[in-house]
Amino acid sequence: MKEEEKIKSMMLVTQEFQGYPTFSLIRISNDCPYIECVFLPEQKNLAIITPIQKDSFHMFPKMDDNGDVMSAKNRKSSDKGYKEERKPIKTYYEFNLVNLEEIVTFVEMFAVNAKTYPFKSFIFPKEK
């Protein structure tokens, strides 16, 4: 097997992101170094999600013993109306490619269907 065939472990698929049509790369092999890659058309970058996890803190609604969201007693003008608590969760490392030519190179390097899928039309859309 050629070295180039080993690295092609993702497939291009069409999807929608925040109301805009776009493409993503999904893994088709267990030895793929990434979980998913999504092209963000408004930001013109490729978000690359790795399987490497890290601990990070996020705010979540505070729950009572019954699993109901606890409402806040003293509401502030910017308050959401419920209590929150900071909890550690595992998240995946994410990288972003912002150079459009590097995005094309990355997709061609990892996608098995890069020659047949029209992903460049999302990166370089024709002006109306």
Percent residues over pLDDT 70 in the chain: 89
Lowest mean pLDDT among 68-72, 75-79, 97-101, 121-125: 75-79
Whole-angstrom distance, CA of residue 32 vs CA of residue 113? 15
Strands, E assignment, the chain:
10-17, 20-27, 36-40, 45-61, 84-97
pLDDT tens for each residue of 46-91: 999 999 998 888 898 988 888 888 888 766 645 678 888 889 999 8
Distance CA 16, CA 7 (A): 26
- pLDDT on residue 3: 54
* Predicted structure pTM score: 0.74
